[in-house]
Structure 1
Amino acid sequence: MENKLIVSLSPHVHSGDSINKNMYGVLIALIPAVIASLAFYGLGALIVTAVSVIACMFFEWAISKFIMKRESLSICDGSAAITGVLLAFNLPSNLPIWIIILGALFAIGVGKMSFGGLGNNPFNPALAGRVFLLLSFPVQMNTWPVVGQLGYYIDVETAATPLALMKSALHGSTDALAKLPDSLSLFLGNNGGCLGEVSVLALLIGLVYMLWRKIITWHIPVSILVTVFVFAGIMHLVNPQIYVSPWIHLLSGGVMLGAIFMATDYVTSPMSKKGMLLYGVCIGLLTMVIRLFGAYPEGMSFAILIMNAFTPLINMYMKPKRFGEVAKKK
């Protein structure tokens, strides 16, 4: 029998990257933020994170095996675990377990597997789960325990987050901004919020690691953060009495978490560098518009999901140049 040489589609040079390698690299980058959440919220952070990860992995396994009838299961590639950690990072530390499980079911079942699984989902699954819970259980999702309560209690002492205080100032509260934590507290994590929002330092360590390992590029995180800083800076110059400094906006809420770990998702973000920059700028603009003029204190989740929907359009009109392609003369 004659042997035939079969040449597959490019690229032909293997770089050593794989789905598993990159996914587990992201999980390693998340470790500092996990440690920070445990330090500030203790048992509550541990329970929320563990339940979210286990539920996401279970639902991916169950849907793949019993509903989609797949022989090769994707539970070990790390993507379900990342979804679980990121979903937990978007939740308060005292959220009831049954609500966390519902969020994991929506994130995996609706946000990911209903589109065919990894590589086919148009929206970030963890953010889809977070927004579903925010719309379905607004009271529980907006009850923020005070930092330092290391147990897991549904009824705990709560306090307003920095974003809630900023929103109160926009609505006319005269003393709201005076209650804001200082920049150092926001940077280190001594403030209320979701598990993944507490420590900017921990998130930046993860960013440096992923850039060093070339898991992501700088384009999306930097374009988001610069846009937020410029927009917030302009508003602060216009009226510093009600609009806080741009540094406070960068250090508060989910800007860092979204820019570093959520918006950079391979599947739901553009492929070209120009597309990434446009994508990041639009996310930054939408985030600030929602924060300052919308009904919700935070806009990062909605901004990323909206731009996820525009990613195919960006990829269509901002395609990377083909290797060896000669530009046409006008």
Structure 2
Amino acid sequence: MTISPAEPTFDPRPSLQRVLLACLPGALALLWFNGGGLLVQLLLASASCCACEWLTRALRRQPAPQTENSLFALSPLAEGSGLVTAVLLALALPSYAPWWLTVSAAAFASLFGKSLFGGFGRNPFNPAMLGYAFALVAFPTQMVNWPTPGGSHGLLAGLQQIFGAGSGLADGWSQATALDSLKHNDRLTIDELFAQHAAFGAVGGRGTEWVNLAFLAGGLYLLQQKVIRWHAPVGMLGALFVISLLCWNGSGSDSNGSPLLHLFSGASMLAAFFIITEPVSGAGSDRSRLYFGIGVGLLTYVIRTWGGYPDGVAFAVLLINLCVPSLERLAALRGRGATQ
């Protein structure tokens, strides 16, 4: 999916519709393991992003999008980029995050991620990851309340958690993620962690293994449909695999985790196929896309292993967004060198 940083020169709606369709397997997997809270987060994030886009157009006195030029022929959705941002943000946030956190993150993603720079086609940063990073920095306590996969998460109880009718996540509702448990482990071997800690599954995080496989399936669909190209996903996943293999120090208590654990925990597949392939803030040429993916993969591992956050995808993407002009110049120089 290639969209110019300037005003788009073709209709982006078919590609965005396929992106939303490709998100469906991962969203269904998250619903299966985490319960119906995700549906509420999707509604909150979508309504917030659409409201912010409408408000921005009204303040700028821009005409409302025509129905025939809007995603799914719904004028409030405009060309659809706001809805895609909202969906990706909601998929990345904890399923039972407080409603105000989701609304704040979505508003920040829309206003500071796109509107501040002139709207769709001009954003230098990935809007969904900008909203996620804002939530992580501003509300760190709420962002660690990840639901226990397969727990008894009733819809009514979930609504109480999201809208503040409860008194915080009850026992059995939340736990540390596999990456968080690995980062703070100082006494158990990897085998003991997998055997004793409920957050671990067969090779990665319990539940997140299947969620990552589902997003991988959706990503392969996007590749088959030629919505995205292979360079950025292969660069990220390849770099994450190689560096985690080189730094893998066995199964001792100081282990950084196996390559499979890093590939199938956290937001690895969501980032590889849906985040770093965002066409506006990402790289433009095939070679620079490959460099972009490699940079995100390396930084993700560095932040996960030695940084202050268990999953470094959001900060890795935003930092490499800053490097896109340099990556483009490097790719151009390498391309000219290869033809001489």
Do they superpose with TM above 0.5?
yes
Letter in 1 for 2:324: T
CA 1:328/1:267 → structure 2, altered by over 3 Å: closer, same or farther?
closer
Cα RMSD for the two superposed structures = 2.4
Q: Does 1:283 align with 2:263?
A: no
* Counterpart contact for 1:183–1:251, Cα < 8 Å: no
Q: 1:70 aligns with which of 62, 83, 91?
A: 62
After superposition, residues 129-144 of structure 1 pair within 5 angstroms as 129-144=131-146
Q: Does 1:115 align with 2:117?
A: yes
* Counterpart contact for 2:49–2:86, Cα < 8 Å: yes
Task: Give the share of equivalent positions with the same residue, in percent.
Answer: 35
State the shift of 1:78 in Å.
1.3
Q: Does 1:314 align with 2:333?
A: no
Looking at structure 2, the residues matched to 328 and 190 of structure 1 have their Cα atoms a distance apart, in angstroms, of 47
Letter in 2 for 1:166: L
Residue number in structure 1 paired with 2:202: 183
SS at match of 1:297: coil
State the shift of 1:107 in Å.
0.4
Letter in 1 for 2:241: F
List alignment gaps of at least 5 residues for structure 2. Answer: 1-8, 71-76, 162-168
TM-score under structure 1 normalisation? 0.84
CA 1:88/1:229 → structure 2, altered by over 3 Å: closer, same or farther?
same
State the shift of 1:36 in Å.
1.6
**C-alpha deviations, 1:95-154, integer Å up to 9, x for none?**
111111111110001111110011100000011000101111000011112123333142
Q: Compare CA radii of gyration and give the structure with the larger one.
A: 1
Tell me the number of residue pairs that the alignment of Structure 1 and Structure 2 aligns: 300
**C-alpha deviations, 1:151-194, integer Å up to 9, x for none?**
3142232111010111012xx232673425233674xx625xxx
Looking at structure 1, the residues matched to 183 and 325 of structure 2 have their Cα atoms a distance apart, in angstroms, of 33
CA 1:281/1:119 → structure 2, altered by over 3 Å: closer, same or farther?
same
Q: 1:230 aligns with which of 229, 234, 242?
A: 242
Looking at structure 2, the residues matched to 280 and 206 of structure 1 have their Cα atoms a distance apart, in angstroms, of 18
SS at match of 1:270: coil
Q: 1:150 aligns with which of 134, 149, 153?
A: 153
State the shift of 1:243 in Å.
2.4
TM-score under structure 2 normalisation? 0.82
List alignment gaps of at least 5 residues for structure 1. Answer: 1-15, 192-196
Q: 2:231 aligns with which of 208, 216, 219?
A: 219
State the shift of 1:76 in Å.
2.5
Looking at structure 2, the residues matched to 84 and 320 of structure 1 have their Cα atoms a distance apart, in angstroms, of 37
